[in-house]
Amino acid sequence: MSDRQITEIKGVGAKTAERLAALGLLKESDLLFHLPLRYEDRTQLTPLNALRAGVWAQVEGVIVHQSIRYARSRMLVATLADDTGQCLLRYFRFYPSQQRQLTEGARVRCFGEVRWTQQGFEMAHPQTQTVSDPSPSLPDHLTAVYPTTQGISQALIAKLIGQAVDRLVKGQLLLTEFLPSRGEAGVMDSLAEALVCVHRPGPHENIASLLEGNHPAIARLAREELLAHHLTVARQNHAREQQKAPVIQPKPVKGQSVVEQFIQGLGFEPTPAQKRVIDEITQDLGTHRPMRRLLQGDVGSGKTVVAGVALVMVAASGLQAAMIAPTELLAEQHHRTLKQWLTPLGIEVVWLTGKVTGKARASALERIANGSAVVVGTHALFQEPVVFKRLALAIIDEQHRFGVHQRLALANKGKREGELPHQLVMTATPIPRTLAMTAYAGLDVSVIDVLPPGRKPVKTVAMSQQRRDEVIDRLATVLREGRQAYWVCPLIEESEVLEAEAAETRSAELAKVLSDFKVALIHGRMKTKEKQAVMADFVAGKTHLLVATTVIEVGVDVPNASLMMIENAERLGLSQLHQLRGRVGRGSAQAACVLLYKPPLGEMATERLKVMRETTDGFVIAEKDLELRGPGEVLGTRQTGVMRFKIADLGRDAHWLEDMPTLAASLDEVAREGLIARWVGMAEAYIEV
């Protein structure tokens, strides 16, 4: 028998199927590609007198005592005994069924983390299973622990995957081998063998290498996935070649080119790098072939001007263009900038984010439907009710904050019969070229590699937070000179609330000691209106010091701000520090960045701060980041929104890429289709990107 829909599996109802779909599990075979997060060793039982604190162990015995205790709350406590000793089982939350399971005399097998307390060894909330006497045999392989989702328990997903693996082993679930057998070292030849190894490694298997992904079984899977991805991109490119985008031919206004008028209005000359990219984009837009261009440029390199030119060209052709930013704050700033640039040219700019409601929203939607030229906003523009009259260009700023799917959603917005909008995506996160080719497969890449003239590199120092008073003196001096400054309090815990609180406390303190100046506060938990007002005041120079959480990280542009303080700098990654520092040094004054850290510094943190002191070059910093954190982290799908892989890791597996065209060429059409269906899904493969 072959593959089945997940709903055809016994015991999987509609609700469960829906939840499994959220994990990308639609077919029975998908279960096989849902890889473990980690493994537990349940191949042995630990005698109770051999327990050690801090170790995960599996134990088995008889319950000799059970009681409900009242400490801060009600808890269930049971004593487990075997021939060698005793151990306490503690449940801070419990169901009546657990109470029944742990009655005196019951025989149970428990797996959990061992703790040492004054009463002896105990396990809190161990996984518990009632067993018969004599007890059932132990598994002969390690037990996989899988990623789950709301409503899908570990037990359920493990059971479903276990059944699929059983069927694979018995030859009931057939997986076609599409790759030619090559007998290469370091790569398993058989797909089925690789899958069984990953789900049920023997007790002596090299688990670290399975988890890190350099195991021959993972190599087999990753390589196949990369191949499927390669095939998909080739297919999408082919599909795109069949599509047409509107040809952008700006009409002159008052006998003069609008682009020239736009540039004259800027008050500065575009850099050679900006001019080159503008030329590339102009060429792309001038043809029917839908543009898919990625613009990489370091913070402050002037990507917005380039975007502005593209918007103007489209508007002057009588068509629509949209520009999307990842945060309200940044969208608001673009709106301000673009209004200032475009209004004199007679181009209307519409503003739409999730926070625009009521009449304003209705009016924005109406103007978009009627064909208003330039629309600026956040991902609200992806949403259902937004209907464009004829969207010819979509620009996505700070693209690493968006997912591929969001980019596609916007493209689909503009899709009409046989027509796709052009796309420009911009990012300040430089990634090495080899990786960029796959991560941004299907995109042409432009780079702005020169900063606007007159910029002096930001001077960076690292100081212990014990010297905060000194830092505040320096801050006061800068403010007295009429300059502005940022004070960033980054995430102290994984909590926006705590982060906001820390920023609030700090801003109150600073307002007290810097009583001659106006100190303002901005954080992610404030209402959009408040944030906008705070930003507007800072831009206008009405406030002097802006205390902020990392919400200001992306794109904020206030040229008069020349000092950036970053607290807890030791906790931030290089690229984040670089982004934050990029907020200053945008004007002509010498800018400085103070990295405040809490000693003692770890080795990694020391190295990071050193890199920050030594260079301001985003590409150098990206390379360093890669070196320090490893490619997987740098490209982590969470951050970058690049192509998602189930198993492959672009950093780790980049060495396979070179081989892909040859491998692809060796396959017939059936194998190509099969691989795409297995790894990517047919629906997605046919989306025109």
CB of 552 to Mg ion, least distance (A): 12
CB of 608 to Mg ion, least distance (A): 23
In the Cβ-directed half-sphere of 546, how many Cα atoms lie within 13 Å? 35
Q: Which of residues 160-219 bind ligand ADP (CB under 6 A)?
A: none
Q: Which of residues 544-563 bind Mg ion (CB under 5 A)?
A: 555
Please, which residues bridge with residue 565 across strands? 487, 594
Q: Is 334 in the site for ligand ADP (CB under 6 A)?
A: no
Nearer to ligand ADP, 269 or 481 (CB): 269
- Strand 444-448's sheet: what is its strand order? 349-352, 374-377, 320-324, 391-396, 422-427, 292-297, 444-448
Element (H, E) at 631: helix 631-634
Q: CA of 139: how far to CAs of 62, 133, 136, 223, 555, in Å? A: 21, 17, 9, 30, 54
- Name the binder of 297 from Mg ion, ligand ADP, none, CB < 5-8 A by kind: ligand ADP
Nearest to 35 by CA among 196, 264, 150, 275: 196
How many chain residues are in contact with ligand ADP, going by CB under 6 A?
Answer: 19
DSSP state of 495: -
In the Cβ-directed half-sphere of 629, how many Cα atoms lie within 13 Å? 18
- Name the binder of 559 from Mg ion, ligand ADP, none, CB < 5-8 A by kind: ligand ADP
Nearer to Mg ion, 555 or 631 (CB): 555
Nearer to ligand ADP, 372 or 484 (CB): 484
**How close are the terminal C-alpha atoms of the chain, in Å?**
36
> How far is the C-alpha of 457 from the C-alpha of 592, rounded, in Å?
9
Q: Are 110 and 128 in contact (CB under 8 A)?
A: yes
Pairing of strands 107-117, 120-124: antiparallel
- Name the binder of 270 from ligand ADP, Mg ion, none, CB < 5-8 A by kind: ligand ADP
Nearer to Mg ion, 479 or 548 (CB): 548
Range list of β-strands (E), 373-504: 374-377, 391-396, 422-427, 444-448, 459-464, 484-488
> How far is the C-alpha of 59 from the C-alpha of 507, rounded, in Å?
53
Pull the structure tokens for residue 8. 């055809």
Q: Are 572 and 489 in contact (CB under 8 A)?
A: no
Nearer to ligand ADP, 210 or 522 (CB): 522
CB of 583 to ligand ADP, least distance (A): 9
CB of 557 to ligand ADP, least distance (A): 4
CB atoms within 10 A of CB 501: 16
Nearer to Mg ion, 201 or 555 (CB): 555
Which one among 216, 246, 555, 651 touches ligand ADP, defined by CB under 6 A? 555
- Name the binder of 549 from Mg ion, ligand ADP, none, CB < 5-8 A by kind: none
CB of 431 to ligand ADP, least distance (A): 16
CB of 270 to ligand ADP, least distance (A): 5
- Name the binder of 78 from Mg ion, ligand ADP, none, CB < 5-8 A by kind: none
Q: Which of residues 568-597 bind ligand ADP (CB under 6 A)?
A: 586
Nearer to ligand ADP, 363 or 588 (CB): 588
203-207 long-range contacts (CB < 8 A, ≥24 apart) are 203/41, 203/43, 203/140, 203/141, 203/142, 205/142, 207/39, 207/142
CB of 460 to ligand ADP, least distance (A): 18
Which one among 95, 116, 268, 686 touches ligand ADP, defined by CB under 6 A? 268
Nearer to ligand ADP, 19 or 583 (CB): 583
Q: Is 651 in the site for ligand ADP (CB under 6 A)?
A: no
> How far is the C-alpha of 197 from the C-alpha of 194, rounded, in Å?
5
Residue whose Cβ sits closest to Mg ion: 555
Nearer to ligand ADP, 428 or 458 (CB): 428
Which one among 46, 58, 274, 427 touches ligand ADP, defined by CB under 6 A? 274
CB of 333 to ligand ADP, least distance (A): 8
Annotate 89-119 with b (16+ C-beta within 10 A) or e (fewer). Answer: bbbeebeeeeeebbeeebbbbbbbebbeeee
Residue whose Cβ sits closest to ligand ADP: 302
- Name the binder of 271 from Mg ion, ligand ADP, none, CB < 5-8 A by kind: ligand ADP
Q: Is 559 in the site for ligand ADP (CB under 6 A)?
A: yes
User: What is the chain's alpha carbon radius of gyration, rounded to the nearest angstrom?
Assistant: 29
Range list of β-strands (E), 251-304: 292-297
- Name the binder of 58 from ligand ADP, Mg ion, none, CB < 5-8 A by kind: none
Nearest to 108 by CA among 138, 81, 85, 130: 130
CB of 533 to ligand ADP, least distance (A): 21
Which one among 30, 225, 284, 557 touches ligand ADP, defined by CB under 6 A? 557
Q: x-or-dash pattern for ligand ADP, window 290-319, by CB under 6 A?
A: -------x-xxxxxxx--------------
Q: Which of residues 407-446 bind ligand ADP (CB under 6 A)?
A: 428
- Name the binder of 122 from ligand ADP, Mg ion, none, CB < 5-8 A by kind: none
Which one among 271, 378, 406, 507 touches ligand ADP, defined by CB under 6 A? 271
- Name the binder of 274 from Mg ion, ligand ADP, none, CB < 5-8 A by kind: ligand ADP
Q: CA of 521: how far to CAs of 489, 507, 547, 550, 579, in Å? A: 11, 6, 5, 12, 19
> How far is the C-alpha of 514 from the C-alpha of 545, rounded, in Å?
9
- Name the binder of 567 from Mg ion, ligand ADP, none, CB < 5-8 A by kind: none
- Name the binder of 427 from ligand ADP, Mg ion, none, CB < 5-8 A by kind: none
Nearer to Mg ion, 250 or 555 (CB): 555
CB of 304 to ligand ADP, least distance (A): 3
Element (H, E) at 683: helix 682-685
CB of 652 to ligand ADP, least distance (A): 30
Amino acid letter, 554? V
CB of 337 to ligand ADP, least distance (A): 7
DSSP state of 341: H
CB of 426 to Mg ion, least distance (A): 7
Q: Are 373 and 320 in contact (CB under 8 A)?
A: yes
> How far is the C-alpha of 530 from the C-alpha of 520, rounded, in Å?
11
Amino acid letter, 173? L
In the Cβ-directed half-sphere of 128, how many Cα atoms lie within 13 Å? 26
- Strand 561-566's sheet: what is its strand order? 459-464, 592-597, 561-566, 484-488, 545-548, 519-522
CB of 295 to ligand ADP, least distance (A): 9
∠405-409-414 over CA atoms, to 5°? Answer: 150
Length of the chain: 689
CB of 303 to ligand ADP, least distance (A): 3
Nearer to ligand ADP, 304 or 549 (CB): 304
- Name the binder of 414 from Mg ion, ligand ADP, none, CB < 5-8 A by kind: none
CB of 514 to ligand ADP, least distance (A): 26
Residues near ligand ADP, by CB under 6 A: 268-271, 274, 297, 299-305, 428, 452, 555, 557, 559, 586
Residues near Mg ion, by CB under 5 A: 555
